[in-house]
Chain A
Amino acid sequence: MTRLSGWGRTPVAECSVKTARSDRDVAEALSEGPMIARGNGRSYGDPALSRGLTLSMAGLDRMLSFDTETGTLVAEAGVLLADIIATFLPRGWFPAVTPGTKFVTLGGAIAADVHGKNHHLDGSFRTCVDWVEVMEDAGAPQRIDRHADPERFDTICGGMGLTGVIVRAAIRLRPVESGWIMQETVPAETIDAAVDIFEANLDAPYSVAWIDCIGHPPRLGRSIVMLGRHARAAELPPRRRRAPFDTPRRLPLRVPFDLPGFVLNAANLRLFNALYYEMGRRKAGVSLIDWDRYFYPLDSIADWNRIYGRAGFYQFQCALPLETARAALSQMLHDISGAGTGSFLSVLKRFGQGEGRYSFPFEGYTLALDFPAGDRSQALIERLDRITLDHGGRFYLAKDARLSAETFLAGDPRFAALRDLRRANGWADRFTSLQSERLGL
């Protein structure tokens, strides 16, 4: 038995773990009883923990082919986006969609149907997936093509591994001319101003905002909006132009131990937020930034999840419809600043049209927050749940560790249909995670 948790470090569970290194290993695991596949453990809560078997896909980490004409990569599910970037960025290709960490597996990215800073234009991860190969019993893997079998494809993308084990996939990468991002930093004094900036920049390939959650009115939700696009080789300074994919290698910092709880107290958070805003304000304008710092600022601090101490932390992420987003966001920020527990990292993002039957994003805004695990946060997060539901929003399974079945399904009744489908196809008996049990899926 192994003690496992998600990235948020709560809950922790004793799991029976095996590593899959071949299809045969997956088939064997499937024949042994209920299980869930686990990628690199970067979902925050309990979707990759199981009372049955937790099957690590880390051993299925081979890249099988790459088509230099179309940019199509066929790879096993345990390959990390970090490896894909290391292999293909020097050849002029970058993931078409990437979440805020490069340490996710291909299978995990598909199962959670992750999104990136370009969702408003390019959609979620599923848009770059041509096909997946899935195992749902001890037989051979089935190839599910997005066009030939859209219904089954839909159950996989966003299905959280509850509809089959993804063993391989074909994804399309995007051609880029450099490893650099042309970033435009725009400070916003209030949350409303930040939303205005997003709406005025819907053609920016990438956009994301960091919000100061500590501020009080009239500065409620002052933000730094970061727009970006891949820089063309010709836009680089001459000394970089010769090797446009060479970007500075950052020394990985580490958090060597669990920080005691008082480090992230309200005063320190206020200070951090004020400093961050001030730095962003001074940086306002256009600058060249390397891909790693733009897309993955937190990856440079290994184990950053330890800053919340041993108790771990909760992530809260909701999607809000366009019409109600402004109202919901101000109410949420009002309650957060009133509660004084603060959020170290608060991220706002504009979503484009949603696709996929079980995918999280839909047109509007998404707000992601994190709070130290504990009673005080619990009460605040439950208020945020309420506000989300009152404004027609839904919740992100990849972040969730604590929603009740009732609250989750109230926001996302689509998953009642998935639950029925799971029962009808026998998947409910074969694929179970602590999350699927908690949410009654």
Chain B
Amino acid sequence: MSKSVLILGATSGMARAIARSFAAEGRTLRLAARDVTRLEPDRDDLVTRFGITVTLHEFDALDLEGHEDFVKGLPELPDIAVCAVGAMGTQEENAASPTIGASVMRANFEGPASIFAHLANAMEARGSGTLVGISSVAGERGRASNYVYGAAKAGFTAFLSGLRNRLAKTGVHVVTVLPGFVATAMTEGLDLPERLTAQPEEVGAAVVKAVRQEKNVIYVRPIWRIVMAVIRAIPEPVFKKTSI
């Protein structure tokens, strides 16, 4: 049977594109999200286009207690697991309400880290597997415009980095994806610079390639590597006065 790919948070635009890219390789797909009914047309699309096997699984990233059973309940331990779970919220809400801010942190860090911890242990025991974490350039440096989201992503990035280090000799590989701006429902209405904004399909292609080539950390558009190097290099006394 073909290698299987689990996609967590499969309703997002980015996750859909990643699913299509793996489907084009003929993989079996396990799509997981909180609201499974929303995944039905996506499943039909993948089956119709690519003639592959696709199953749907209910998954709530915030229900940490349920994560172990979720992994056990899958048809098999997947060969590849992609976590595209996340929520941005608006910085105004996140800053004004610490409760909302906390839930954004849980959705972007705690939940993804927890499910990856379970999957990592199982993959380590098996001695093979690839974990792909969709993190964010927002985690590279906290900015006034979205530091709550950014802080959670920074946590996830550090978690992935540590996991990769721990599993390096076990046959399990960890890929960190820093997509930069992507034209999806999450960013609709924002005025994003065209050269820095990837289409979801580019993310899909980049993820599949990164898995194949066992990359560690990827930016989807290479220009982001330069942009973030510059942003990281700005001295704090200057940085704190900017608005980027």
Contacts and interface: CB of A to CB of B under 8 A. Distances in A.
A21 B48 contact: no
Interface in A25-65: 59, 61-65
Given A63-B49, A87-B49, A76 B41 contact: yes
Contacts of A76: 41
Nearest to B189: A18
Contacts of B13: 21, 59
Contact of A62 (B41, B185, B188, B189): B41
A66 B48 contact: yes
A18 B185 CA distance: 9
Nearest to B185: A21
A21 B38 CA distance: 11
Interface residues of A, number: 15
A174 to B, nearest CB: 18
Contacts of A65: 44, 48
A73 B189 CA distance: 33
Interface in A283-310: none
A337 interface: no
B38 A62 contact: no
A22 interface: yes
Contacts of B44: 62-65
Nearest to A56: B188
Nearest to A24: B38
B58 interface: no
B45 A22 contact: no
B42 interface: yes
A65 B13 CA distance: 21
Contacts of B49: 63, 83, 87
Contacts of A66: 48
A19 interface: yes
Contacts of A19: 185, 188
Contacts of B189: 18
A83 B201 CA distance: 14
Interface string B166-191: 00000000000000000001001100
What does DSSP make chain B's interface, helix, strand, loop or mixed? helix
Given A21-B13, A22-B38, A63 B45 contact: yes
Contacts of A73: 48
Interface string A236-257: 0000000000000000000000
Taking residues whose C-beta sits less than 8 angstroms from the other chain, chain B's interface range is: 10 to 19
Contacts of A64: 41, 44-45, 48
Given A21-B13, A22-B38, A63 B48 contact: yes
Nearest to B188: A19
B33 to A, nearest CB: 13
Contacts of A18: 188-189
B214 to A, nearest CB: 28
Nearest to A2: B191
A64 B49 CA distance: 9
Contacts of A22: 38
A441 B128 CA distance: 63
A73 B44 CA distance: 12
Interface in A200-243: none
A22 B45 CA distance: 14
Contacts of B41: 62, 64, 76
Contacts of A83: 49
Contacts of A61: 45
B54 to A, nearest CB: 12
Contacts of A21: 13, 185
Nearest to B45: A62
Interface in B33-80: 38, 41-42, 44-45, 48-49
A59 B185 contact: yes
Contacts of B48: 63-66, 73, 87
Interface in B12-50: 13, 38, 41-42, 44-45, 48-49
B183 to A, nearest CB: 8
Contacts of A87: 48-49
A87 B41 CA distance: 17
Interface in B174-215: 185, 188-189
A13 to B, nearest CB: 18
Interface string B94-111: 000000000000000000
A18 B41 CA distance: 21
A16 to B, nearest CB: 10
A87 B45 CA distance: 11
Contacts of A62: 41-42, 44-45
A21 B42 CA distance: 11
Interface in A319-357: none
Interface of B: 13, 38, 41-42, 44-45, 48-49, 185, 188-189
Given A18-B189, A63-B48, 11 more contacts: A18-B188, A19-B188, A21-B13, A21-B185, A62-B45, A63-B44, A64-B48, A65-B48, A76-B41, A83-B49, A87-B48
21 contacts: A18-B188, A18-B189, A19-B188, A21-B13, A21-B185, A59-B13, A59-B185, A61-B45, A62-B41, A62-B44, A62-B45, A63-B44, A63-B45, A64-B41, A64-B44, A64-B48, A65-B44, A65-B48, A66-B48, A83-B49, A87-B49
